[in-house]
Amino acid sequence: MKLYITLTKYSLLMLLLVGGMVLSYVPNSIAATSSTLAIDVFGAHLVLQPTTLEASPTELAQIQAILTTRLTQAKLNGAFEVKVVAQHIEVNLSEGQDAPIAAPLMSHVGQIQFIAGGIDTSPLDNKVSANYPTLFTSNQVTDFTLPKSGDIFYRLGLNDAAATQMATFNATQPRHTICMVMDGELLNCSSMYYWSKNSLEIVPNLSGDSSVTMSNLALFIKSGALPLSLRLE
């Protein structure tokens, strides 16, 4: 009888020991699997390095916020995250097909200005100089509305200072074109525009070799410009 009891206690002890090992092993296994799944959710990883030698924490935080705004407004196919890692920005996209959409939004600073062109012409050789005065900048745009169904005009609402400048231009330089420049690149010039109070309606024609679409332009205007330029690595 004593032998039976001893063996039973021994068996129970072994069962408890083995059970404890199983219980302690399972959470680690699950945790490892969860971690792997979390990493594999993202299908594209983009590293953006500031072109300056050292970017301040404030600048990196500004870049993170601006890029998040741009990608949110771009309505990507999948989820994304923008985070600061050491001295660079890392962007993770859940869908690889979103990379070509996201790249132009991140590789441009987004400094936009609208300049006065010539009479029915654009600046020669796409060169922007003091000969083509600035009418207003994207910082002075209070509202940017895409064309509605059946319409072809883009509408830009301007603040009072820009509206005054535009009113003078419209009254004194009829038939002169309005050209859009971003980061020093001439995007388009148009003589098809209509000015009324604080509102400019315009039909632009983007240059064929530009990586920026009008929808992109709306995102740049709404998000504001980056504090410094980035390069994809």
> What would the mean pLDDT of 165-170 be, rounded to a whole number?
94
Identify the residue with better confidence: 208 or 188: 188
Tokens describing residue 230: 């980035």
Per-residue pLDDT for 110 more than 50? Answer: yes
Residue 109 and residue 211: Cα distance in Å, rounded? 13
Contact 134, 114 (CB under 8 A): yes
Percentage of the chain modeled with pLDDT above 90: 38
Residue 203 and residue 233: Cα distance in Å, rounded? 36
Residues 6+ apart with CB under 8 A from 108: 182, 183, 212, 220
Identify the residue with better confidence: 122 or 20: 122
pLDDT at 187: 83
Contact 82, 91 (CB under 8 A): yes
Contact 154, 206 (CB under 8 A): no
**Mean pLDDT score across all residues of the chain:** 78
Whether pTM > 0.75 for this model: the answer is no
Residue 33 banded pLDDT, cuts 50, 70, 90: very low
Per-residue pLDDT for 25 more than 90? Answer: no
Identify the residue with better confidence: 94 or 36: 94
Residue 232 banded pLDDT, cuts 50, 70, 90: confident
Percentage of the chain modeled with pLDDT above 70: 74
